[in-house]
Amino acid sequence: MSKNTYTGLSWVTLAAAFVPQTHAAELDASLAAIEPKVVTWRRDLHQHPELSNREVRTAKLVADHLRRLGLAVDTGIARTGVVGLLDTGKPGPTIALRADMDALPVVERTDVPFRSTVKSNYRGEEVGVMHACGHDSHVAVLMGVAEMLAARKATLRGRILFVFQPAEEGAPPGETGGASDMLAAGVFTRHKPEAVFGWHAWASLNTGIIGYRSGPFMAGSQAWKAVINGKQTHGSRPWQGADPIVTAAQIINGLQTVVSRQIDITRIPAVVSVGAIKGGVRNNIIPDSVEMIGTIRTFDAVQYDQVTQGMRRMVENTAEANGTTAEFSLDPYRNPVTYNNPELTARMLPTLRRVAGDENVKEIPLITGAEDFAYFAQAVPSLFVMVGVTPRGTDVTQAPANHSPLFYLDEAALPLATRALAELAVDYLE
């Protein structure tokens, strides 16, 4: 037997087989140490949620943690964004890992001891504030991944950019924010990552499941607004005025036919929803005007044009038919489609399968929810995945969805999310 073989296997082959086991053991130890911290951070963030562009406390918690790890830290990016850079000092690629920090104007109704009782102001109204979309877990997990990878700096090469982003849910009216503002501030221009990774807590999957899709994954979103102008009159004499409330009701019904009757939905889905309607102050006064706001979800540019043009016709022509006028407008800020780079997805799928098990990594359908991670994905190749957070044994079709006041995040999902993000980074760099 030659000295570089053993029972028919070369030492090179044995080493290749041994390294992943050693690597896995090291990650197991790191994960066991960090898991309690991730849970503690997540609960603290959950009790102290902050709305978009107002993530001051969250940003300080993150920045202080990254500085303790010895990372180079930039703050105040796009108002409250935080970026930490782990530079191994060895040649290699630069990658970015991203978490979003903002909460939603939702009154929490979950029965957990760390539920939020925070109140704030949104669109001129007092609202409850809740991490009803899991961004608290995104922040806590990325803090944990930063600690794990900083501890392994000597074994890594290249650079890792930890991006904590504000305003994923959309900036308040009159403001800008989110991923597009972070890019405009030069985050990727300065550091030049060649790939970006992200994940989302997802109520439509059970704990232990990772969902992915190559190519278009999540819809592009567009906020819209319609103001119907009528003529105010006494509620007992509607014929003396022009009723914008009745007009608004007809417009709402008519908008549902834009997708169902004017768009080929056998190709890709589209959604038009009305999110709020406001008009009037008394039971016996027909008001001058009514305002409606809502969202559009589409998956390509042609479809987007068809939907928005159909909506404009419906709003303006219905108003005219009722003797009123209408102003239809689209918000200047628009989320693009979240697109997973096919080559990067194929390259990293073995990592996800190793972490979760082959049977637990599933290709899932298009998601009509939107994510402004899409801006990062436009800038460099990306992979964005969903990690299930609905407890095993629970029917996900009956579980409260993301954005629900009853949204519940199974903390047993956090170790999988932490390990998946850490291993995606390690495997890409190696």
What CA dihedral angle connects 51, 365, 208 and 381, to 10 degrees? Answer: -70
Annotated catalytic residue: which of 212, 304, 333, 339? 333
What CA dihedral angle connects 389, 390, 393 and 399, to 10 degrees? Answer: -170
Using the 8-state DSSP alphabet, how is residue 397 labeled?
Answer: T
Residue 94 has φ and ψ, to the nearest 5°, of: -110, 130
- Whole-angstrom Cα distance, residue 79 to residue 142? 20
Residues 6+ apart with CB under 8 A from 169: 52, 100, 102, 103, 104, 133
Known catalytic residue at 411: yes
Known catalytic residue at 363: no
Half-sphere exposure of 283 (CA within 13 A, CB side): 0
CB 391 within 8 Å of CB 194: no
Annotated catalytic residue: which of 169, 411, 423, 428? 411
Residue 323: CB atoms within 10 Å = 13
CB 133 within 8 Å of CB 402: yes
Q: Name the residues annotated as catalytic.
A: 333, 411
